[in-house]
């Protein structure tokens, strides 16, 4: 069964450094998402992406964050100048079409980002 | 404002018995609801969903019930198995907006 893959599984970065988290969504999916989960807290929506542009973003997704689909397969999340509070699990998800009854989001296994 | 709430952070059930996980929401614009299961070090895995036009959806051992007037949904697992032990997240969607809003999760432990 096709799956969403994320790399790396664990990223350790110094505060203030830029980090890029990578995702390969399921190949025929059209909608892409990033979520994060701070340790012990709920899964929080960051951003959704469709047709090469952001369709929705949360308050968390400020100017330090950006997303890109540089080619036909990768979907990346960049944090320009990391802060300690960016430490979290970051989940990528993809979905075939517009949210509907039979098309749930499929999640990757996440990248654990640790900011030192 | 927490739009999706799972008030029980944990639930412990004996193998073979029924597990009932609950979820409440406040936004009446939500029209599609999902349950995800999450193991440690893995991403959420879709389990079962229900549209707001239904009040019940069943898939094998898993049944989701939706009470729109109470803005409440529940996931029933019967019979529960030790492999069901995981964190269960309820998620709600306004299909016009698209994003999923998650509850805090409930950790289910099924004891042999």
Lowest mean pLDDT among A14-23, A75-84, A97-106, B62-71: A97-106
Tokens of A42: 């709920």
> Which pairs with CB-CB distance under 8 Å and at least 24 residues apart come from B6-12?
B6/B88, B6/B89, B6/B90, B6/B103, B6/B104, B6/B105, B6/B106, B8/B106, B9/B104, B9/B105, B9/B106, B9/B107, B10/B106, B10/B107, B10/B108, B10/B109, B11/B106, B11/B107, B11/B108, B11/B109, B12/B108, B12/B109, B12/B110, B12/B111
- Any chain A CB within 8 A of the CB of B35? no
The CA distance from B42 to B21, in Å, is 21
Contacts of A55 in chain B (CB under 8 A): 98
| pLDDT for res A28 | 87
Per-residue pLDDT tens for A60-109?
Answer: 999 999 999 988 789 999 999 999 999 999 999 998 875 554 578 899 99
Place of tokens 């990578």: A22
Tokens of A87: 């430490």
Place of tokens 């895995």: B45
Q: Do B98 and A107 touch (CB under 8 A)?
A: no
What value does the mean pLDDT of chain A take? 90
The CA distance from A97 to B60, in Å, is 26
Q: Do A99 and B89 touch (CB under 8 A)?
A: no
Contacts of B49 in chain A (CB under 8 A): 101, 104
**For B49, which of A43, A101, A107 is closest by C-beta distance?**
A101
Distance from CA of B67 to the nearest CA of A (A): 17
Contacts of A110 in chain B (CB under 8 A): 41-43
- Any chain A CB within 8 A of the CB of B89? yes
On whether the CB atoms of residues B101 and B91 are closer than 8 A, the answer is yes
What value does the mean pLDDT of chain B take? 92
- Any chain A CB within 8 A of the CB of B62? no
| pLDDT for res B16 | 97
DSSP code of residue B2: -
């Amino acid at each position: 069964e096709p799956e969403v893959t994320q790399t790396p599984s664990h990223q350790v970065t110094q505060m203030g450094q830029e980090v890029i988290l990578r995702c390969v969504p399921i190949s025929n999916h059209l909608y892409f998402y990033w979520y994060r989960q701070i340790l012990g807290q709920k899964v929080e929506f960051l951003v959704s992406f469709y047709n090469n542009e952001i369709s929705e973003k949360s308050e968390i997704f400020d100017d330090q964050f950006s997303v890109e689909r540089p080619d036909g397969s990768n979907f990346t999340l960049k944090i320009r100048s990391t802060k300690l509070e960016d430490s979290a699990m970051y989940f990528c998800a993809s979905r075939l079409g517009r949210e509907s009854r039979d098309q749930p989001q499929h999640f990757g296994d996440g990248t654990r980002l640790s900011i030192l | 404002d927490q739009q999706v709430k799972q008030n029980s952070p944990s639930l412990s059930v004996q193998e073979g018995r029924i597990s009932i996980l609950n979820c409440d929401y406040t936004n009446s614009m939500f029209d599609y609801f999902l349950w995800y299961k999450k193991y440690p070090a893995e991403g959420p895995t879709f389990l079962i969903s229900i549209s707001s036009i239904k009040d019940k959806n069943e898939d094998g051992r898993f049944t989701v019930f939706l009470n729109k007037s109470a803005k409440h949904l529940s996931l029933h697992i019967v019979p529960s198995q030790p492999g069901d032990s995981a964190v269960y997240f309820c998620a709600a969607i306004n299909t016009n907006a698209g994003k999923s809003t998650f509850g805090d999760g409930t950790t289910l432990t099924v004891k042999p």
